[in-house]
Amino acid sequence: MVARIYMVVCTSRVEVFTESLAGVLDFQNSFATKDEGFDPPSSSIPGPSLLGINYSDVHAPLEWIAFPVQGAAGKLPILTISPKVPRVYMAVVREPQARDSEVGNGFDSIPSPILGFLLQYPFFRSALDRGDFLAVAHMLVASKELASSHALLRFLAGPEADYPVVWYFLHDTDKDKAAMVESYLSYHRITEAHEYRVLFDFSNELGLCRNLLEFQERIAKLMAQRMRKEGFLWTEVTGLAFNVSGLRAYLKIVEDVMAVEIDNRLQNLCTAGQFEPRILEKLARLAPLGIERELINTYDAQAMAVYATGYNGERMRVGYVRSDVAHVLCGLGGHFSVHLALLDADAMEIQVWRER
């Protein structure tokens, strides 16, 4: 018997969850929406065919209540791709069974694990949809509520469930990290890195690899598959510390563009929704990014440098595509375009798109 219905509204999809009278959360249905202003009715619920729930015994109209969903706290980068803010709604179908001192039918009576899950899942889903798998991995590692629901999340993620493990492993990879993954794959024992057990529980296939070599081969295939399917890879830029002059010049251009757009925003010449897209659009014109293979690189013949164009048309090297991603791109061949995804004083991430 359903006690509550929860509706998670993201940019391109709506997902419906239910809570039973016993306090168990379950996934019910998902449907696509192109209407970014989608809202559930205020006085009645969508039909059974839409939500996948039988309401034949519900006589009174149900009211949807919006959750006070907030983003993750922490230091904000200078500039990042800003996804649409997701929304969560709740409708009470029946009064749930009393649990301990919980009373009423508001947020205070929702079981803590369910409440924690619903407050974090929308941002997990948004990061998954836009391909920011490193953010997904960090959410899984940091959140007990998400980690405890790994089977449900693995089902909802589908084929994308392997990528957070990949991106977490590749991010700042070193010999110690590789040794821990080797230990897990060979003996299913990790003593110093519990996060890998959490991520492998979320994965669909990578936990089936028998050793580090199989794991790394599977990683390369997954990245190539994603590039062919989605047309882009999201990756960080390495070697920033060795390309300080180019990075500083690029940061100066970014700050100049932001100053102009902040002034436009203060004068109401652009809306809040237009603010960051206008910055990214101007940067693409004034200081376009690009990648180029360095065939004469003495350390790696498949190395790919990341360049930006300065005010005077001079090309400035700001860093390198991470080596494993560069090897995948070299294997795919063709031409690539680059878009800024995130920029901070000591971090830079890009989206690499394959031109068709």
Q: Residue 94: is it exposed, middle or buried by C-beta count within 10 angstroms (0-12/13-18/19+)?
A: middle
- What pTM, to 2 d.p., does this model score? 0.68
172 C-beta neighbours (distance < 10 Å), count: 10
Q: Residue 173's pLDDT band (boundaries 50, 70, 90)? A: low
Q: Can you list the positions of beta strands (E) in 2-131?
A: 2-9, 13-20, 25-32, 64-66, 79-80, 87-92
The proportion of the chain whose per-residue pLDDT surpasses 70, expressed as a percent, equals 76
CATH (one of 3.40.50.970, 3.30.420.40, 3.30.70.2330, 3.40.50.10540) for 233-354 = 3.30.70.2330
CA distance 54 to 52: 7
Domain with CATH 3.30.70.2330 in the chain: 233-354
Per-residue pLDDT of 222-242, as tens digits, reads 888 888 888 888 888 888 888
Per-residue pLDDT of 297-346, as tens digits, reads 888 888 999 999 888 888 999 999 988 788 888 888 888 999 888 887 77
108 C-beta neighbours (distance < 10 Å), count: 10
Residue 68: what pLDDT?
A: 65
CA separation, residue 1 to residues 19, 96, 162, 229 (Å): 9, 10, 34, 40
46: Cα separation from own chain's centroid: 29
Total number of residues shown for the chain: 356
Work out the angle between the directed axes of helices 244-266 and 272-286 (0-180°, nearest 10): 140
- More confident site: 74 or 240: 240
- More confident site: 155 or 93: 155
